Amino acid sequence: MPSCIFCDIINRKAEAHIVYENDLICCFLDKFPINPGHVLVVPKHHAAEFTDVEPESLQAVILAAQKVAGALESTFRTDGITVMQNNGAFKDVEHYHLHVFPRYRGDGFGWTEPETDVSSIDFGSLGVKIRETMAE
């Protein structure tokens, strides 16, 4: 496996500001934050994609994210919290991680949705396809 910065942080071979950890996860400040207090929640067992994370680790990730979100709300005067992750071509580190960061009105971070003509979408067929795939 090529070098992984998150594995290096977990194994104390790289520096990071760790805010919380247990046997399954490690939470540390993002070096390139959206806003101050931006935390990455990372499973200790290396997995590149969300769909590769072991169920026990995934449960630990979401519970830690909830704990971090509560701490951010208490520490900062936030207008909200964003919890998000990216997969495939949209991730910047080949180790699954969840972003948890404080949000403020007018902070410049946003979600841009393309205009989609939903009248042309066959939701019934899409639902069937997804259900069939999940049943496999």
The DSSP annotation for 4-60 comes to -HHHHHHTTSS---EEEE-SSEEEEE-SS-SSTT-EEEEESS--SSGGGS-HHHHHH
Q: Which domains does the chain have, with CATH numbers?
A: 5-111 (3.30.428.10)
Task: Specify the pLDDT at position 49.
Answer: 96
17, 46, 95, 97: which one is catalytic? 97
Q: What is the pTM of this model?
A: 0.91
Which pLDDT tens digits describe the chain residue by residue (136 residues)? 579 999 999 999 999 999 999 999 999 999 999 999 999 999 999 999 999 999 999 999 999 999 999 999 999 999 999 999 999 999 999 999 999 999 999 999 988 888 888 888 899 999 999 999 999 8
45 a catalytic residue? no
